[in-house]
């Protein structure tokens, strides 16, 4: 976990950077691949216009942005060997954080409220989950870890109390030395846990009792603390279980809805986001080429929308911005109506699963 040496930096030729947009303008950061299949990290405005595009050593996944907006950390796709510390305004690489021995990044992380600590979801060689603790002001030194209480941890979010984090344990046993190989699918144990950031103590654990074949993977957090859980179904193809649950002070509730509605998502949600005011959540399915807008108060699906291979989603003015793994993106309003962003930069990259506002 050191600053990238000059020789290594020369092996990552960062492209010429576009003029940074004013801080007041909405912007988004994501991993992507170009037409030649080279991995990139890129940022763009709400109109899809380029802010920067830079090379990556391997495929990226999710990102965390510091509370002051001045730093972003982009994690490698699991099982990941690195995390990139970036200037979100220019794309300049500040540091490469390497994985700890016997630990692999799982693609997500979160900053503390004061920006001094970064928590990252990680696995050990047996697939068990840990949260790696990194001291930001000590050059992202890894100063500890605590268990997530399950296998295959994925998304991580800081709770509004600032003293606990939510972690989604996907529950699927993997061996990081055999990437993407999965074991014991008939017996996996998926859960959402809330952990004390000081001690790692388990404060709460939620499971979806109705269907043991649901893997809890991605999270969206509203300002009032309501957590949306986006799930992936590992059971029989003919089943159509709900794929979204909400957790608030009353506990976990699986969303109602007809099986046909969940069928649009083809058993798989790849990303989730909350609207800026927390009244809506959006979830996306690249496999189904579809997404849903969900009303937080009523816990009901408000609208559906379509986008081939659409996955990356983030709050945007008027609703949500969604990007496609085939290139391009759309703005989706609360009622599901969408407007394609006609921008050659956005269309020229194949966007990865996640996107964060900057």
Q: Can you spell out the DSSP letters for 83-95?
A: EEEE-TTT--EEE
Q: According to DSSP H, which parts of 216-268 are helical?
A: 259-263
Fill in the DSSP letter of residue 198: T
In DSSP terms, which residues pair with 331 in a beta bridge?
321, 339
Closest CA to 305 of 280, 283, 274, 281: 283
Tell me the C-alpha distance between 192 and 194, whole Å. Answer: 7
Position 185 scores a pLDDT of 60
Q: What burial class does residue 137 get, using C-beta atoms within 10 Å of its C-beta: 0-12 exposed, 13-18 middle, 19+ buried?
A: exposed
Say how many C-beta atoms besides its own lie within 10 A of residue 158's C-beta.
20
Fill in the DSSP letter of residue 358: -
Position 173 scores a pLDDT of 81
Position 183 scores a pLDDT of 60
Paired tokens of 127: 């697939």
Position 237 scores a pLDDT of 86
Q: Tens of pLDDT along 215-270?
A: 999 999 999 999 999 999 988 888 888 999 999 988 999 998 777 779 999 999 99
- Give the list of residues 6+ apart from residue 309 with CB closer than 8 angstroms, or none: 286, 289, 324, 325, 326
Residue with tokens 């940074």: 20
Contact 205, 166 (CB under 8 A): no
Closest CA to 107 of 147, 63, 167, 144: 63
Closest CA to 351 of 293, 304, 284, 303: 284
Paired tokens of 254: 């699986």
Q: According to DSSP H, which parts of the chain are helical?
A: 6-10, 259-263, 344-347
Q: Tens of pLDDT along 259-305?
A: 777 999 999 999 999 999 999 999 999 999 999 999 999 999 999 99
Residue with tokens 């699927």: 172
- Give the list of residues 6+ apart from residue 197 with CB closer than 8 angstroms, or none: 112, 117, 119, 158, 163, 164, 165
Paired tokens of 209: 């009792």
Rg of the chain over CA atoms, in angstroms? Answer: 19
Contact 272, 313 (CB under 8 A): yes
Paired tokens of 204: 């709460």
Position 188 scores a pLDDT of 78
CATH number of the domain located at residue range(s) 6-259 in this protein? 2.130.10.10
First to last CA, the chain: 25
Contact 197, 132 (CB under 8 A): no
Fill in the DSSP letter of residue 260: H
Domain ranges of the chain: 6-259
Position 9 scores a pLDDT of 36
Residues of the chain under the 70 pLDDT cut: 1-24, 179-187, 210-211
Position 17 scores a pLDDT of 35
Tell me the C-alpha distance between 149 and 169, whole Å. Answer: 8
Position 14 scores a pLDDT of 35
> What length is written for the chain?
358
């Amino acid at each position: 976990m050191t600053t990238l040496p000059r020789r290594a930096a020369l092996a990552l030729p960062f492209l010429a950077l576009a003029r940074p947009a004013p801080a007041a303008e909405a912007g988004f950061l994501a991993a992507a691949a170009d037409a030649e299949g080279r991995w990139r990290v890129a940022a763009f405005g709400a109109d899809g216009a380029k802010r920067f595009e830079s090379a990556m050593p391997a495929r990226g996944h999710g990102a965390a942005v510091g509370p002051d907006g001045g730093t972003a950390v982009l994690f490698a796709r699991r099982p990941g060997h690195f995390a990139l510390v970036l200037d979100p305004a220019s794309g300049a690489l500040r540091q490469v954080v390497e994985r700890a021995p016997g630990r692999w990044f799982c693609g997500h992380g979160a900053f503390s409220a004061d920006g001094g600590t970064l928590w990252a979801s990680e696995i050990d060689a047996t697939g068990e989950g840990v949260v790696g603790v990194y001291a930001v002001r000590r050059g992202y030194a890894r100063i500890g870890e605590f268990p997530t209480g399950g296998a295959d941890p994925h998304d991580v979010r800081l709770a509004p109390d600032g003293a606990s984090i939510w972690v989604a344990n996907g529950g699927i046993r993997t061996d990081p030395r055999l990437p993407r190989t999965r074991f014991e699918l008939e017996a996996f144990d998926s859960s959402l846990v809330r952990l004390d950031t000081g001690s790692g103590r388990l404060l709460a654990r939620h499971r979806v009792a109705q269907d043991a074949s649901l893997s809890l993977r991605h999270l969206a957090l509203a300002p009032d603390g309501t957590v949306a859980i986006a799930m992936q179904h590992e059971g029989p193809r003919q089943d159509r279980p709900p794929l979204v649950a909400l957790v608030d002070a009353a506990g976990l509730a699986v969303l109602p809805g007809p099986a046909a509605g969940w069928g649009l998502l083809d058993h798989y949600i790849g990303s989730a986001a909350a609207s800026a005011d927390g009244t809506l959540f959006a979830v996306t399915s690249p496999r189904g080429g579809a997404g849903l807008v969900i009303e937080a108060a009523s816990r009901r699906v408000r609208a559906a929308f379509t986008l081939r291979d659409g996955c990356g989603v983030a709050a945007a003015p008027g609703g949500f911005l969604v990007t496609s793994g085939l290139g391009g993106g759309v703005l989706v309003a609360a009622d599901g109506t969408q407007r394609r962003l006609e921008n050659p930069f956005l269309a020229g990259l194949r966007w990865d699963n996640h996107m964060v506002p900057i």
